[in-house]
């Protein structure tokens, strides 16, 4: 029996470890890349892996992509939050997945909604997650995947920034502070449209966000990254000359707190 092709996983945190386990269950040898790994040396040994999954955090994505060996450039899969096509426009045929499960230390993965993936290696990612009973699906087109990425960004940025004001869970945010959530979401969509150059169906985006809310109403609004997400959002708004009044109000409250 022929052995399956190796997979390289760059970044073995909680998320990278989940995919590594799923890939191992499918029978793929997995080669982890840590900060100590010489990627060029590994690429010389493994010039043609089935996939190179970049599982570093969003702030480490661009520095990591700048170091990817040439032989791996056309085999990349990306899973970061706040991911948009401009982040990977320089890559030939990247695969992207919008991850909708949460993995915390010492806990099993918790699925909110199925994770959509698109690109040449989408099925491999879906199969790896499926081996762990984590739901995932193929996006139908690049345009569909863009919508899915923006839904995820809308969910994360809206809940984090609204959470800076009201705390609580996503269920409470919508039940008790719907006007605030909608106002923040409008500002966030303004930014997403500026970053992508695409006009979206805003009602469809908000409805898709609410499906994710229903997937885990007890999900906390505000993670550790919330202040940094607000700062990034304001920087984007300034760059594109956007008003984003609710985001600026919350930023002012945070500055004076």
Q: Any idea where the domains of the chain sit in the sequence?
A: 7-139, 143-256
pLDDT category at 73 given cuts 50, 70, 90 is: very high
What is the average per-residue pLDDT within 147-168? 97
Separation between Cα atoms, residue 112 and residue 114, nearest integer Å:
7
Identify whether the C-beta of residue 213 lies closer than 8 Å to the C-beta of residue 170: yes
3-class secondary structure, 85:
helix
**Paired tokens of 45:** 């040994």
Whole-number pLDDT of residue 106 = 67
- pLDDT for 194 beyond 70: yes
The confidence band for 108, taking pLDDT boundaries of 50, 70 and 90, is confident
Q: Are 190 and 235 in contact (CB under 8 A)?
A: no
Note the pLDDT of residue 110. Answer: 82
Question: What's the rounded Cα separation, in Å, for the pair 17 and 88?
Answer: 23
Q: For residue 233, count other CB atoms closer than 10 A to its CB.
A: 28
* Backbone angle region of 173, left / alpha / beta, with phi > 0 → left and psi within -120 to 50 → alpha: alpha
CATH number of 7-139: 3.40.50.720
* Topology (CATH) of 143-256: 1.10.1040
Residue 2 pLDDT > 80, yes or no? no
pLDDT tens sequence across 86-102: 999 999 999 999 999 98
pTM given for the model? 0.94
Residue 223: its pLDDT value, please? 82
């Amino acid at each position: 029996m022929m052995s399956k092709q190796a997979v390289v996983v760059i970044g073995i945190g909680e998320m990278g470890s989940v995919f590594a386990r799923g890939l191992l269950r499918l029978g793929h040898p997995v080669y982890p890349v840590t900060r100590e790994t010489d990627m060029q040396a590994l690429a010389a040994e493994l010039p043609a892996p089935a996939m190179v999954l970049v599982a570093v955090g969003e702030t480490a994505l661009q520095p990591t992509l700048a170091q990817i060996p040439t032989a791996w450039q056309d085999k990349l899969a990306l899973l970061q939050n706040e991911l948009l096509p401009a982040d990977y426009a320089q890559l030939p045929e990247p695969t992207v997945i919008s991850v909708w499960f949460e993995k915390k230390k010492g806990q099993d993965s918790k699925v909110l909604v199925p994770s959509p993936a698109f690109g040449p290696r989408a099925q491999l990612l879906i199969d790896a997650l499926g081996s762990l009973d984590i739901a995932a699906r193929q996006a139908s087109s690049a345009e569909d995947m863009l919508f899915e990425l923006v839904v995820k960004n809308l969910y994360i940025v809206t809940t984090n920034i609204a959470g800076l004001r009201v705390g609580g869970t996503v269920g409470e945010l919508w039940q008790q502070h719907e006007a605030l959530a909608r106002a923040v979401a409008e500002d966030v969509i303004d930014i997403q449209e500026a970053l992508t150059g695409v006009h979206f169906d805003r009602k469809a985006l908000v409805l898709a966000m609410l499906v994710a809310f229903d997937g885990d109403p007890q999900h906390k609004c505000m993670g550790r990254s919330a202040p940094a997400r607000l700062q990034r959002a304001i920087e984007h708004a300034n760059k594109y000359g956007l008003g984003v009044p609710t985001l600026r109000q919350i930023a002012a409250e945070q500055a004076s707190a």
